Amino acid sequence: MRHATVEDAIDHARRALAAAERVVVFTGAGVSAESGVPTFRGAGGLWKTFRAEDLATPEAFARDPRLVWEWYGGRRALVAACAPNAAHRAIARFAATRPGVAVITQNVDGLHQRAAHDAGASVLALHGTLFGARCTRCGRRTPHDLPVDATSLDTLPHCDACGALLRPDVVWFGETLDPHVLDAAFDAARSAEVCLVVGTSALVQPAASVATLAARAGAMLVEVNAEATPLSDSADVVLRGRAGEIVPVLLDKGDPV
């Protein structure tokens, strides 16, 4: 549906979100941009400076684990110095007060979780976490937020259980997502009445299917993004702009604008 004014579009989305019992909030790197976390694609995105295939694939890690750990260690330090923004906080408040809300993120920065921790809601993280590591041999997962010393293979983090090399607990290109997390996300998408999509280019599969599955199952699609995406044409409401400004207006209680 096209709206005569931005105010009409916001009002339509606000009412739908307030009335719905089951809502999916699906986010990408754009939701954290105003916290100072770089996105992947577009101006200033990580993939403008770094080649994804050199850093975010299992082959890259097998070839040069020091380089990959160094890069993730740097991103971890950057994100640790960032804080959730108004969008993360509004999403956390919305989810904490309503049992039918699922927050599904592609982000590995933990900012939804940090906002949700205060507000008491959980988050489905499709692509893992920057603050965890996983054993390359036995698969054991462990929280890992220490600085990484990438001077040599020996100084890289190793598994407490079996001694093998640990890797960042994120999902790289060509790897499958955790089936439990993905199933939970797809289930929530299929039963959602409204799907609010915030700050994702919606290019990476299978994550982007959260939005298309929801729409196909009849959910109203609301997109908040600075730019057009492959979802924009089929969205019921498209709001162009910054997540930190638009999301609180959509989700927080108060007089309709």
Give the footprint of ligand BJW on this chain (CB under 6 A): 28-30, 33-34, 39-42, 45, 56, 106, 108, 127, 170-176, 199-201, 203-206, 224-227, 229, 242-243
Q: Which is nearer to Zn ion, 159 or 208 (CB)?
A: 159
d(CA 246, CA 13): 11
d(CA 139, CA 73): 20
If binding is defined by CB under 5 A, does position 156 make contact with Zn ion? no
Q: Which H/E stretch holds residue 256? A: none
The number of beta carbons lying within 10 Å of the beta carbon of residue 152 is 8
List the end-to-end C-alpha distance of the chain, in Å, as a whole number. 19
Q: How far is the CB of 164 from Zn ion (least distance, A)?
A: 5
Q: How far is the CB of 131 from ligand BJW (least distance, A)?
A: 12
Q: Which is nearer to Zn ion, 66 or 140 (CB)?
A: 140
- Binds 14: which of Zn ion, ligand BJW, none (CB < 5-8 Å by kind): none
d(CA 167, CA 136): 6
- Binds 19: which of ligand BJW, Zn ion, none (CB < 5-8 Å by kind): none
Binders of Zn ion in range 157-176 (CB under 5 A): 159, 161-162, 164
Q: How far is the CB of 251 from ligand BJW (least distance, A)?
A: 14
- Binds 248: which of Zn ion, ligand BJW, none (CB < 5-8 Å by kind): none
Q: Which stretch binds Zn ion (CB under 5 A): 52-60, 63-71, 151-159, 243-251?
A: 151-159
What is 193-217 written as a DSSP string? SEEEEES----STTTTHHHHHHHHT
d(CA 74, CA 77): 5
- Binds 83: which of ligand BJW, Zn ion, none (CB < 5-8 Å by kind): none
Q: Which is nearer to Zn ion, 166 or 246 (CB)?
A: 166
d(CA 141, CA 169): 7
Question: In the beta sheet, which residues pair with residue 208?
Answer: none
Binders of Zn ion in range 87-146 (CB under 5 A): 135, 137-138, 140
Is 127 marked active-site?
yes
Specify the pairing of strand 128-135 against strand 101-105.
unpaired
Is the peptide bond prior to 206 cis by the omega test (within 30 degrees of 0)? Answer: yes
d(CA 94, CA 138): 38
How many residues bind to Zn ion according to rule CB under 5 A?
8
Q: Which of 137, 203, 200, 128 is nearest to 170 (CA)?
A: 128
Q: How far is the CB of 32 from ligand BJW (least distance, A)?
A: 8
Residues that bind Zn ion (CB under 5 A): 135, 137-138, 140, 159, 161-162, 164
- Which positions are catalytic? 127
